[in-house]
Amino acid sequence: MTSLQQDTISNNEEEEHSAIGEYDITSSPNDFNVLTLFNFIESGAIKIPGFQRNYVWDIKRASRLIESLLIGLPVPQIFLYEEKRNKFLVIDGQQRLMSIYYFIKERFPKKEKRTDLRKIFDEHGKIPSDVFYDSLFDSDPMVP
């Protein structure tokens, strides 16, 4: 047997041992309203897992999302994984979800704190008020 054949057999054996098992995925639409999503975040029912990037949207981009919601334009879905009954992990839509949350709070996170939000939230179970500007209008000099 050649070295190449031995490598091929060895690779095939490794693949068999590291095979990923199959599992079923089901999805069901839930039309949570904005207030329900806000309350889920406030209560800790929605968690942002470590594989999600940090919150990076600026107030201009977040404002465009809120405007789209207010005038009834379609916005992309938010995908949540129900880890336990009424305990969710954000799979897709964290930037949109958190923008809605900050809008309802009428406060926007300080630029220097945005990248640390997940860590702060995990440590405190909520986002302390010192992370936010005093009002939405203090957060960005471009906002009239």
Summarised one tens digit per residue, pLDDT across range 3-52 is 656 655 566 666 666 667 676 667 777 888 889 999 999 898 998 888 88
3 occurs within a structural domain: no
pTM, to two decimals: 0.63
- HSE at residue 34, side-chain half, CA atoms within 13 A, is 16
56 occurs within a structural domain: yes
The CB density around residue 142, as the number of other CB atoms within 10 Å, is: 8
Average pLDDT over residues 130-140: 52
pLDDT of residue 129: 63
6 occurs within a structural domain: no
pLDDT of residue 124: 67
Q: Compute the 3-state secondary structure of the chain and give helix, strand, coil in percent, each to the nearest 5.
A: 50, 10, 40
Residues in CB range of 39: below 8 A, 6 or more apart? 45
> In total, how many domains does the chain have?
1
Q: Give me the domain span that covers residue 95.
A: 48-124
Q: What angle do CA 51, 53, 56 make, to 5 degrees?
A: 165
pLDDT of residue 7: 59
40 occurs within a structural domain: no
86 occurs within a structural domain: yes
Among all chains, which residue has been given the structure tokens 């005093």? Answer: 134
